[in-house]
Structure 1
């Protein structure tokens, strides 16, 4: 349970730092975006590192949510506290969405995709899908 809180905190902080360090180009023009990335290399590198660490942390929370939902569907014991904590990911994405829509949507899609990929359905001891 503490691990889930740490993953939530890391994902939220890294998402905020990624959004604050990424260049803001309005209206969005691809050449201006790339130019801003090249003229501020340290800030851009830190934003990319925070993006990577944050989406991996959020993917662990998404994986836990989906695994517990699958346990609920196949009538296996569910760890309700971890499942409840994983639901707290949605308000954090809503908060990040208020800061920057595009980057948060990209962050969310990477997190959900990697979280779904990382589920181990071959583990026959825990899941028996019929």
Structure 2
């Protein structure tokens, strides 16, 4: 459960830093966006690192939420604390979407797809 709490904090902070460090161009012009990325290489690199760390941390939470839900439906043992921390990832995505919905949507999409790719439903591992 401590691991899930750590993933929740790391995922939210990384998402916040990624949103803060990527340039905001309104209206979106691809050339201006790329120019901003090129002229600020340190912020670009840090934003990409935060994006990578954040979407992996959130993918772990999404994967855990889906697994816990499947176990709940099959009436197997489920820890309520782990279920709450896992579903808290969606609350953190909501909080991030108040800052910038487009970047948060891309962040959520990568997290969700990676979480589903790393999940094996049919083979249950022995812990």
- How far 1:43 moved relative to its partner? 0.4
The equivalent of 1:60 in structure 2 is 60
Q: Supply the RMSD in Å over aligned alpha carbons.
A: 1.3
Query: TM-score by structure 2 length?
Result: 0.94
- How far 1:42 moved relative to its partner? 0.7
Q: How many residues align?
A: 126
> Where do residues 41-80 of structure 1 align in structure 2 (5 Å cutoff)?
41-80=41-80
- Change in Cα spacing, 1:124 to 1:101, as seen in structure 2 (3 Å) is closer
The equivalent of 1:20 in structure 2 is 20
- How far 1:124 moved relative to its partner? 4.2
Secondary structure of the corresponding residue to residue 98 of structure 2: helix
* 1:40-62 Cα shifts (integer Å, max 9, x gaps): 11100100110000000000000
Instruction: Provide structure 2 residue ranges, at least 5 long, that are not aligned to the other structure.
Output: none
* 1:71-91 Cα shifts (integer Å, max 9, x gaps): 112222112210111111122
> Where do residues 1-130 of structure 1 align in structure 2 (5 Å cutoff)?
1-124=1-124
Distance in 2 (CA, whole Å) between partners of 1:110 and 1:69 is 21
Distance in 1 (CA, whole Å) between partners of 2:24 and 2:14 is 17
Distance in 1 (CA, whole Å) between partners of 2:85 and 2:114 is 19
